[in-house]
Every structure is written in C-alpha cells, then in structure tokens.
C-alpha cells in the first residue's frame, strides 16, 4: 500500500487555520468530506473525539495521527494538515504537533488500518522528511515529498 493510494491531493491542507485539537479534527474531517461527501461529518467527529478520549494520537516529534473507523466507508482515506505554529495535541512528549495525518477506515478492517498507520509512522520516523514537510511551500510540494518517500518504501 502506498500513502498516496489513500491520500487525495485535495485532502492536503498546507496551513491549518486551527488552534485547538478539536479544530484540527474538524478541519481535517472537512478535507476528507471534499473527497467523500457521503460521510456523516457529525458521526466522524464523534468517532475521532472518542478515540482521543482513550488517549491522544499525538505521538511526539511534532506529529499527530488521529484515526478512527466508521461505517459507510468502503476503503481507507487519509487527509494531511500542517501547522507552522504548532498545536497542543496532548502529545506524549508534551510538545505541539505540526504535522497531522487523519486516517479513517471502514468499520471492519483492522489489518489494513494498522498497516496504514505503520506506513505513516515509518514515513514520519525520518527527521529529514518531517523537516521537508514542515517547510514545504505548497500542497503540490507536500504531495511531491510524500510521493518521493512513498516510492522509496
């Protein structure tokens, strides 16, 4: 699986307007809805907020990977957002998050959901990639960085 198989270019937000965790989830959800307008926004936000209540998906190093499962979806979908200023996402290291991948999976697909999370984590494990994503000038540049790294795996 390639990240770009599930990340439409239109679902990339080069600079989030959000300043809170909830606003990040709302903005990334709205980016997904541009590509999957049949999804129930209220239900998706409910699922994501419930997942955050279980424990923050802010994994540290300026990264958060909020995720959840929802009915009425036939395949994985991903959105991406970046905040130059950083947003408190209650990350494990206590530092603000700058890079966000929101992953939504169909209700009954644990294996592929976990593989996608692992693929994203592997991509972001490289500090050079994180830096390039943080400083990219546009949606197209972010997409190109992910494509280049995607092809390397």
* Residues annotated as part of the active site: 67
**CA atoms of 67 and 44, how far apart (whole Å):** 10
Give the architecture-level CATH label for domain 3-152.
3-Layer(aba) Sandwich (3.40)
**CA atoms of 102 and 37, how far apart (whole Å):** 16
What is the pLDDT at residue 109? 81
Do 49 and 22 touch, CB atoms closer than 8 A? yes
What is the pLDDT at residue 112? 87
What is the pLDDT at residue 66? 97
What is the pLDDT at residue 108? 84
Predicted TM-score (pTM) of the model is: 0.95
Number of H helices, E strands in the chain: 5, 6
Which sequence spans correspond to the domains of the chain? 3-152
- Residuewise pLDDT in 10s, the chain (153 residues): 899 999 999 999 999 999 999 999 999 999 999 999 999 999 999 999 999 999 999 999 999 999 999 988 889 999 999 999 999 999 999 999 999 999 999 998 878 888 999 999 999 999 999 999 999 999 999 999 999 998 886
What is the pLDDT at residue 141? 98
Closest CA to 7 of 27, 26, 35: 35
């Amino acid at each position: 699986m390639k990240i770009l198989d599930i990340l439409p270019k239109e679902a990339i937000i080069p600079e989030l307007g959000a300043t809170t965790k909830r606003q990040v989830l709302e903005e990334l959800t709205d980016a997904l809805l541009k590509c999957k307008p049949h999804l129930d926004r209220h239900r998706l936000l409910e699922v994501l907020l419930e997942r955050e209540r279980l424990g923050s998906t802010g994994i540290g190093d300026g990264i958060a990977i909020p995720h959840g499962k929802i009915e009425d979806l036939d395949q994985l979908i991903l959105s991406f957002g970046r905040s130059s200023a950083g947003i408190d996402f209650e990350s494990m290291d206590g530092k603000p998050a700058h890079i966000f991948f929101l992953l939504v999976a169909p209700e009954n697909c644990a294996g592929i959901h976990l593989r996608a999370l692992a693929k994203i984590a592997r991509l972001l494990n490289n500090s050079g990639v994180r830096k390039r994503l943080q400083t990219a000038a546009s949606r197209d540049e972010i997409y190109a960085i992910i494509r280049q790294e995607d092809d390397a795996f």
